[in-house]
Amino acid sequence: MYTSAQQVVTPGFDLEQVRADFPALHQQVYGRPLVYLDNAASAQKPRAVIERLATFYSREYANIHRGVHYLSQEATSAYEATRETVAAFINAASTREIVFTRGTTESINLVAATYGRRNVGQGDEIIISAMEHHSNIVPWQLLCEEKGARLRVVPISDEGEIDLEAYERLFTDRTKVVALVHVSNTLGTINPIDQMIELAHEHGVPVLVDGAQAVSHLPVDVQALGCDFYCFSGHKLFGPTGIGVLYGREELLDAMPPYQGGGDMIETVTFEKTTFNRLPHKFEAGTPNIAAGIGLKTAIDYVTGLGLDNIATYEHDLLRYATDRLLEIDGLRIVGTAKEKTGAISFLLDGTHPYDVGTILDQYGVAVRTGHHCTQPLMDRYGIPGTIRASFAFYNTPEDVEALVSAVRKAGAMLA
């Protein structure tokens, strides 16, 4: 176990400079320095992203794709440059495989409403896991209700790890889709997603991966993973809200019907028939969130500049330190102790309610998340109403961990 903050490995980037890049981190709440540990919900934004948005709105704004004037052409180029950056970031084979959405939730709904409706029928089955976010449960439930299909759930261990043997047993000739989270937003578990994809493909079943909690912590290579769909959100990746990504293999996207109708997803329109635009625009109806799309490129450039491997190494070490320090507190229990984790620690304090602890932590300037974290079935699995969740990013420090530990101790004493 670590015994002091100084024993946390120095990151492969300038941590002091990184923290200076995030204005939100340098403020006080209730007269105390802010310690932001709610990154799994949404991450703070570097100054480069904030300034990019301001520049676009103040000097470069125009609608995209159809204008012949200078500003429209420049805005289109900047927006489409993000698509190239995203494709490189996750190693997609082509920009045609990158569809912009409002976020992970919309990306999953898009696949359920298009691929799902076309390929899932009466008596068919869809496999998800017990640790899924509501966004990767509800769209499939709606599809099952509409089609008369069945949702199958992969169980997890007490430690918060997927039961791979049980997963394999769930496959039948009626299995049509697998939808799995890459990293649990509640437990921090990193799932063996490559093995799970390979097994699904052995049964001829496509796999959608919810990568909302993965892309900010780990290098992601969709071609190496072999997944059929991969989804993530910009706001958890230090970018703007209102922008997300759906990666889909080109042949699958090409065969899927449009998700919505309207401008930019059309090729020709008559009162008799409409033909649709080429990929990826077929799935991007209406004026998009142009500024957020452009800001996402800046966020990805920032993260890749630090190095995903550097980020993963530092955060892993910080997570181990935080785990060790929290476990020194009497009556504290961590929910989710998988061998492979990143990003988050969920815990309970004996004799207290998570909301009460979170409220007291807030008074000490420590921002955490309390509740079920949009994973109510997972809470039911553990027989608890919710947890206190501290979630980390590369700008967090051992000193942030110490502030958390101190505040939890004080909350425990106050609520005893």
**String of DSSP letters for 303-360:** HHHH-HHHHHHHHHHHHHHHHHHHTTSTTEEEE---SSB-SEEEEEETTS-HHHHHHH
Instruction: Find how far residue 43's CA is from the centre of its chain.
Output: 11
- Whether residues 269 and 299 share a domain: the answer is yes
Could you say which DSSP state residue 204 is in?
Answer: T
Name the strand (E) or helix (H) holding 387: strand 387-391
Shared domain check, 200 and 72: yes
Cβ contact 392:39 at 8 Å: yes
Residue 347: predicted pLDDT: 98
Say if residue 377 is in the same domain as residue 327. Answer: yes
Are 132 and 234 found together in one domain?
Answer: yes
Nearest to 208, CA basis, from 127, 124, 133, 278: 127
Catalytic center residues: 374
42 belongs to a structural domain: no
Q: What residues of the chain score a pLDDT lower than 70?
A: 1-8
Q: Is residue 44 part of a domain?
A: no
Tell me, yes or no, whether 337 lies in a domain: yes
Domain termination residue (choose one: 261, 277, 305): 305
CA nearest to 404, candidates 355, 347, 331, 339: 347
pTM of the model: 0.96
Same domain, yes or no, for 224 and 317? no
In angstroms, the Cα distances linking 362 to 27, 228, 347 are: 14, 41, 16
Rg (CA), the chain: 22
* Residue-level pLDDT at 350: 95
Token pair recorded at residue 127 = 């496999």
CATH of the domain at 18: 3.90.1150.10
Q: Report yes or no on 39 lying in a domain.
A: no
What does the pLDDT read at residue 220? 98
**Residue 295 in domain:** yes
Residues with Cβ within 8 Å of 347's Cβ and at least 6 positions away in sequence, in order, are 326, 332, 333, 334, 335, 387, 388, 389, 390
pLDDT score for 3:
45
pLDDT score for 266: 85
| Structural domain for 344, as ranges | 5-33+307-415
The first and second tokens of residue 47, run together, are: 């100054």
Identify the domain boundary among 250, 283, 305: 305
Reduced to 3 states (helix: H, G, I; strand: E, B; else coil), residue 170 is: coil
Q: Give the count of domains, the chain.
A: 2
For residue 239, give the nearest of 284, 300, 287 by alpha carbon: 300
Cα separation, 196 vs 225, whole angstroms: 10
pLDDT of residue 4: 53
The answer to whether residues 225 and 319 belong to one domain is no
Q: What is the pLDDT of residue 222?
A: 98
| 160 φψ region: left (φ > 0), alpha (ψ -120 to 50), beta (else) | left
